[in-house]
Structure 1
Amino acid sequence: MMTDIRKYIRAVNVFLIMLVLGAFTIHIFLSNYISLLSSVINILVIGIILLILFSTIITYFIFYEKEVSKYLMKINYLIIRNIFPVISKVSGFVNISKDEIRKIFIKINNAYIYSNKYNFNSEDLIILIPHCIQNHNCKLKVTNDIDNCKNCGICKISDLQQLKEKYNTKIFVATGGTLARKIIIDNKPKAVIAVACERDLTSGVRDIRKIPVLGVFNSRPNGPCIDTNIDINEVEKAINFFTCK
């Protein structure tokens, strides 16, 4: 995780340099014509730089598990939600994988969610999982109903099914972002626990604004989208957090 935060800070630094150079260029061009507009742009750029520096410091503290108030967490989260698309694009110019930046975003999202308190019923939660968690050789497809699983134990579907029975919560297999959004709209949960890769998690969390979403990364020992794995303890921890158990 140390490597992740350093790469994120490097991408932020590049963005700040680009911002300063852009502002300087505009200032030179406009200063001879519209001094007031040039001053406004300078003030705006300075404000953005200060916000990003503040966010970077808070993000650094979060990754080192320093105590940060939930109010600062919220401000930081809102800043990162807005600058994430730009930082993600900038990362490509400095040979930083977008997945590294996406990990940062989900880490910040989860830290912000965990800084709050909830007391939902487990029936009000839904868990979204990708179809690639199921072993690709299994003939009992669980896309439509996870209860089709026969608990052979080859993949983690059986463990997820046990969680469903233990907590009486809903688990759905989402084959894509469109279906995930439809599941959320149809079921109207109070919170979501989403399991996916960096790209899909980031996209989903940014799409959902009105309810809390905790992201859980799946591991890909066999490559993307085939026989992926999941830390069941992390999913159960999320359930217990939302239900205050």
Structure 2
Amino acid sequence: MTNLEEENLDLGGVLQLIGVITIVLLTLAFLSFLLILVIGFILLKKNKLIFPNLALFLMDNLYSVLLKIFLLVGTEDTFYRVGIEFYNKYYEDKFKKAKKRVLVLPHCLRDVKCPAKLTPKGVECVFCNRCGVGEILKVAESRGYKVYIIPGSTFLKRILKEEMPEAVFGVACNRDLFYGMNSLSRKGIPSQGQPLLRDGCINTIVDMEELISRLKSL
């Protein structure tokens, strides 16, 4: 065997060793990250946050990666619920200190025979008592919220641009609510969210008692 062959053999062995070490380190990093994710989820359930600022950075900017990892131990819908719960806890104190607050309700909470009309400001409730939207609106406005009943995200963008609120409370399905709170967080706007109990874009349901209680307490 020539010196060149011996050198190539040694180099190949080194590269193989480096490859094995790299795979081991990446595996350990992945397992550590997964462990942190599980521990964070457990602490979140106990109303505690682990490394809140780091968790916020990861949730804001690497949520797609977190989702893929979370799918190893849970479902996509569960991930959205965990994310909503995290944002609620992280921003609760900042939300309470905000003066100019907006409540955004989905138009699908309305009764199918709702007589209210869609306007450039969203759906204008006429308090017909066919659904609970009127009651929510009365409570929210008494607490200083400006309320919008909207049919989609385009309206939300317009609200943010025109109202420039200090904080936003949103009601929506898990997926839309998570991405809405994520977007607000990346803009530095504190938010709170209340997921729908039943979605489907028509005759949806929200926990009225819990929502009204939160509007009064925040």
Alignment TM-score, normalising by the size of structure 2 = 0.75
What is the deviation of 1:93? 7.5
Distance 1:31 1:137 in 2: 74
| Greater Cα offset, 165-174 or 187-196 | 165-174
Using the aligned pairs only, state the percent identity: 22
Question: Aligned to 2:91, which of 94, 113, 116?
Answer: 113
One-letter code of the match for 1:200?
Answer: D
1:30-49 CA distances to partner (integer Å, 9 max, x unpaired)? 97438668757765664454
* Alpha-carbon distance in structure 1 between the residues aligned to 2:152 and 2:94: 29
**Aligned partner of 1:155: which letter?**
C
Deviations 1:107-160 (A, max 9, x none): 122122236574222xx0001111101112112225545784232222122112
The answer as to whether partners of 1:129 and 1:174 remain within 8 angstroms in 2 is yes
Structure 1 residue 206 corresponds to structure 2 residue 182: yes
Does the 8 A contact of 1:155 with 1:229 survive in 2?
no
Distance 1:133 1:108 in 2: 25
Q: Whose RCO is larger (CA < 8 A, sep 6+)? A: 2
Cα distance between partner residues in 2 of 1:240 and 1:111: 17
Other-structure match for 1:157:
133
Alignment match, 1:4: none
Which consecutive residues of structure 1, in runs of 5 or more, have no partner in the other structure?
1-29
Aligned-pair distance for 1:225? 0.6
Distance 1:238 1:192, change over 3 A: farther
- 1:84 and 2:80 are equivalent in the alignment: no
The alignment yields a C-alpha RMSD, in angstroms, of 3.3
Partner residue in 2 for 1:21: none
Residue 54 (structure 2) aligns with: 75
Per the TM alignment, residue 164 of structure 1 is displaced from its structure 2 partner at its CA by 3.8
Conserved 8 A contact 2:122-2:155: no
Cα deviation digits, residues 43-64 of structure 1 (max 9, x gap): 566445434422321221221x
TM-score by length of 1: 0.68
Contact 1:134–1:227, Cα closer than 8 Å, also in 2: yes
Distance 2:79 2:58 in 1: 15
Q: Which moved more, 1:45-54 or 1:225-234?
A: 45-54
